[in-house]
Structure 1
Amino acid sequence: MAVGGAMGINLLAKVLLGRARPALWVSLAPESSSSFPSGHAMGTAALALTLGLLLAHSKWRWPAWVLGGLFVLGVGFSRVYLGVHYPSDVLSGWIASLGWVTSVYVLFLPVLRSLWSPVRHRHQAHRQPS
Structure 2
Amino acid sequence: MTDPEFLVEVLAIFAKADSHDQLYWRPDTDGLKLWANVNDVFAWGCADLEEITVEQLPVLRQAASDLLAAKEYGWIAELYTARIRGERPQGAAYPTQPALQALFNACGPERPLGLGNPKPIPTADPTGSNR
TM-score range, shorter chain: under 0.3
Per residue, is there more helix in 1 or in 2?
1
How high is the TM-score relative to the length of structure 1?
0.24
Which structure's relative contact order is higher, taking Cα pairs within 8 Å and 6+ residues apart? 1
How high is the TM-score relative to the length of structure 2?
0.24
